[in-house]
Structure 1
Amino acid sequence: MNSQLNTLAQGIRSGDIIPYLGPGALTGATDTANGQPIPADSDSLILAMNNGKPMSEKLMWEFPRAAMNVELKRGRGAVTRFLNTTYAERTWTRAPLHAWLASLLPRYVIDTNRDTQLQASYAGVPHTLVRGISRIAGTDYRFRIDHYDGTAYREIAQEAVDPALPVLFKPMGSPLPDAVFIASDADYVDYLTELMGGFAIPSFLKSYRQGRQYVFLGLRLLRDTERMVMSDIIYGAGTPAGWALIPEPSEKERRFCERQRIEIIAADIPDLLAAAQSGARAAAGDADTRAEVGC
């Protein structure tokens, strides 16, 4: 398994394998003020949104359902304010996976979280930011594109994208440069409809994704929402489509991944980071040996 994980780490490093990040990618990130872990998965987001208290069993099933309930009672702005306060106004330590990705700066990363750690990894590095949008009139598309010049973002049309720059695709949105999120059931209904129709992914990413392979990190595939988003985003993937790091996969996840041509590896992000570190040490040792023999 270690050799396979090392191969995946090398593939991420070379750009041959695209990282696809789920909530587990933020494991290890904590609030610098009180040490609390960053809310990332469905349950932790619901608890944070409801002042630490569980909601009804029906609403606890999935964050979009709970967010829809809040939206209906207090307005859409209440959900946006919660996510913006959580991810833009509080200070979090770096998750180990993001610290590693910052050392690599991959050509293309898909991040289904709503935080800013991925964007922080590319601070000072020009890149293209693509974020999902929903329920917005005046556009045929369900994405927004911003160009980052190394200091600030500005919105651009997809025809103006520089193909040489790294692309950060955050389909569920982020607070930067402004608060744009896919969160409630109503958001997902609109976004997924247009995603399936091809209007939620820019044309340059549709071309780039053909034949590509992915590694799914920190992503459980138990709920239909995550499964539908993922399967449409990676449409046109290679064979295999990729590898999913799931320590204890359920039978439901096994069946889904088999249909999607995704190989499950019973490991987690710390195992990948350990393999990457081991591989880097081995490569450095080989380089030193070659230098000593005059190669």
Structure 2
Amino acid sequence: MFHATLADLPDTVIDGLAAGTLAPYLGPGLLALCEGATPPAEPAALAAVLTAKVSVPGKIKHRLTAAAQFIENFKHRKTLVNAMNEAYAVAAVPSALQRWLAALPAPLIVDAWYDDTLRAALAEARADWGEVQGLSQSEHFGTWVGWYDPQGAVSPDPIEARTVLYKPWGGHVPAGNYLVSDTDFVEVLTEIDIQTPIPALVQQRRAALGFVFLGCRFNDQLPRAFARQIMKRSAGPHYAVLPDEPTRMEARFLAEQGITRIAMPLAEAAAALMASQPALVV
């Protein structure tokens, strides 16, 4: 299947985000736009942090999910969660783009990384939002997601907020929920084809939305699997800001999912978005 590549940010992306018909889908690359200290912003960096605290076999030292599984198996789940909490205790200052995104009328924002930065930007900007995070079956067997209000208090399922922040891999705040080990992901991927781990409200809202991927790479099976299932039955269109030449598997994924690649640096895309709607910058 053919998929388009654009060198500039289309008006349809700008207008769709501003109108709330396109939903931001954020990855760890967004942390590169933050000034000052930031927590680990890619799987390899996070694996290095975890294995600096707990010794793991060399052959899995650089593989995040395998290293996390070793720590969970041989040092207990609490040791893994504590190490993740320490890694993400570094609170990055939200970038201008994250503040811009937080002010959007988006029914849904997907944030597929563990940091608290977008949550902090939302908390600064407004009160009409709620959050839903993926839960590890090792700690919450039979319960796939947890809902939280803007103050971090546990809330009923679901929160009918104007904007729902969906963190499918969990997050540091408010409760240290993490999908990070092999077992965590196997449990979810076993059920995700039939959509069980994806909140019903997310499924309802995506039906009228397309997605704009910012700070995401698809050069690993996990981000592809989650994006594919979260996008399922969504209205489209879909776009991905991806300045680097896609790998063979990334190119195949973009084509299969009908995602238009925008081949421009994330910082340039951010500048174009904020220049188009400066009133949204908090």
Give the TM bin, normalised by the shorter chain: 0.7 to 0.9
Between the aligned partners of 1:120 and 1:101, the Cα distance in structure 2 is 12
Given the alignment of the two structures, is residue 74 of structure 1 paired with residue 75 of structure 2, yes or no? yes
2:49 matched to which residue of 1? 48
What are the Cα deviations for residues 179-209 of structure 1, in whole angstroms up to 9, with x where unaligned?
1111100000012222223221222221221
Matches within 5 A, 1:12-27: 12-27=17-32
Question: TM-score, normalised on structure 2?
Answer: 0.85
Given the alignment of the two structures, is residue 104 of structure 1 paired with residue 104 of structure 2, yes or no? yes
1:291 matched to which residue of 2? none
Contact 1:142–1:200 (8 Å) recurs in 2: yes
1:206 matched to which residue of 2? 203
Contact 2:39–2:115 (8 Å) recurs in 1: no
1:233 to 226, 230, 235: 230
2:157 matched to which residue of 1? 157
Contact 2:38–2:91 (8 Å) recurs in 1: no
Secondary structure of the corresponding residue to residue 33 of structure 2: coil
Given the alignment of the two structures, is residue 144 of structure 1 paired with residue 146 of structure 2, yes or no? yes
Amino acid at match of 2:34: A
Alpha-carbon distance, 1:214 to partner = 0.4
Contact 2:242–2:262 (8 Å) recurs in 1: yes
Given the alignment of the two structures, is residue 84 of structure 1 paired with residue 89 of structure 2, yes or no? no
Unaligned stretches of 5+ residues in structure 2: 1-5
Between the aligned partners of 2:222 and 2:22, the Cα distance in structure 1 is 23
Given the alignment of the two structures, is residue 10 of structure 1 paired with residue 15 of structure 2, yes or no? yes
Between the aligned partners of 2:141 and 2:59, the Cα distance in structure 1 is 34
Alpha-carbon distance, 1:250 to partner = 1.8
Q: Structure 1 residues 61 and 10, CA, compared in 2 at 3 Å: closer, same or farther?
A: farther
Between the aligned partners of 1:54 and 1:220, the Cα distance in structure 2 is 28
Alpha-carbon distance, 1:26 to partner = 1.2
Q: Bigger radius of gyration, 1 or 2?
A: 1
Given the alignment of the two structures, is residue 223 of structure 1 paired with residue 225 of structure 2, yes or no? no
Amino acid at match of 1:10: D
Alpha-carbon distance, 1:68 to partner = 1.0
Contact 2:24–2:109 (8 Å) recurs in 1: yes
Contact 1:142–1:194 (8 Å) recurs in 2: no
Contact 1:6–1:275 (8 Å) recurs in 2: no
2:176 matched to which residue of 1? 179
Alpha-carbon distance, 1:143 to partner = 1.1
Secondary structure of the corresponding residue to residue 50 of structure 1: helix
What are the Cα deviations for residues 97-140 of structure 1, in whole angstroms up to 9, with x where unaligned?
31322343633100011111111112151322111012258764
Secondary structure of the corresponding residue to residue 109 of structure 1: strand
Alpha-carbon distance, 1:22 to partner = 0.9
Q: Structure 1 residues 29 and 157, CA, compared in 2 at 3 Å: closer, same or farther?
A: same
2:39 matched to which residue of 1? 38
2:254 matched to which residue of 1? 257
Question: TM-score, normalised on structure 1?
Answer: 0.82
Q: Structure 1 residues 239 and 102, CA, compared in 2 at 3 Å: closer, same or farther?
A: closer
Between the aligned partners of 1:53 and 1:28, the Cα distance in structure 2 is 30
Secondary structure of the corresponding residue to residue 52 of structure 2: coil
Amino acid at match of 1:90: V
Alpha-carbon distance, 1:76 to partner = 1.2
Unaligned stretches of 5+ residues in structure 1: 284-295
Contact 1:105–1:121 (8 Å) recurs in 2: no
Pick 1 or 2: higher relative contact order, CA cutoff 8 A, min separation 6.
Answer: 2
Secondary structure of the corresponding residue to residue 232 of structure 1: helix
Q: CA RMSD in A?
A: 2.6
Q: Structure 1 residues 45 and 138, CA, compared in 2 at 3 Å: closer, same or farther?
A: closer
Which range moved further: 8-17 or 227-236?
Answer: 8-17
Between the aligned partners of 2:121 and 2:37, the Cα distance in structure 1 is 22
